[in-house]
Amino acid sequence: MPANELVHVDGKRKAEFVKQLHKIERRTEQYVRAANKGWKRVVFEPGDWVWIHLRKKRFPEERKSKLQSRGDGPFQVLERINDNVYKIHLPSEYGVSASFNVTDLSPFDIGHDSRTNHLEKGRDDTSSSKKLDVESIELPSGPITRAHVKKFQDAVASYIA
């Protein structure tokens, strides 16, 4: 076989190989899109407030019964280690590491940016015509449920508005 034909056959084989690689790459991209469908990227910043998911393995005392809450919070993010790991301001009574994976965290929505203070500077809070109902704003001891948080948010919103 002449050298010219050998180069031609090698070229065809290389072209087929590259086509197969492209097919595999396209198929992999389709699998990635299908696997990530419905997922959204969540990034917390220091100062944000979050709920933590109480997994049985990590929090056996808080998850003894099916009727106990599966989450607790709100807790403040102290440090962003990377996009997947965050250090949370967690009370020492839990006795676990304060580092959490993003899958164990969910945002605590208080209706506005949690890192900013919406009170006006230079304004005297005591001169407000509205009186603060301390009982409605007081947080209960123990795990805080979403219903408690909603009640707290409503009380704060009515005071600020």
pLDDT at 131 over 80: no
C-beta atoms surrounding 159 within 10 Å: 15
DSSP 8-state secondary structure symbol assigned to residue 15: H
Q: For residues 55 and 71, what is the distance between their CA atoms, to the nearest angstrom? A: 9
Mean pLDDT value of segment 46-61: 89
Evaluate if pTM is beyond 0.85: no
Q: For residues 96 and 110, what is the distance between their CA atoms, to the nearest angstrom? A: 27
pLDDT bracket for residue 105 (50, 70, 90): very high
pLDDT of residue 152: 76
pLDDT bracket for residue 128 (50, 70, 90): very low
Mean pLDDT value of segment 79-83: 92
pLDDT of residue 70: 87
pLDDT at 155 over 70: yes
pLDDT of residue 114: 47
Using a 10 angstrom Cβ sphere, with 0-12 exposed, 13-18 middle and 19 or more buried, the burial of residue 110 is middle
pLDDT at 50 over 90: yes
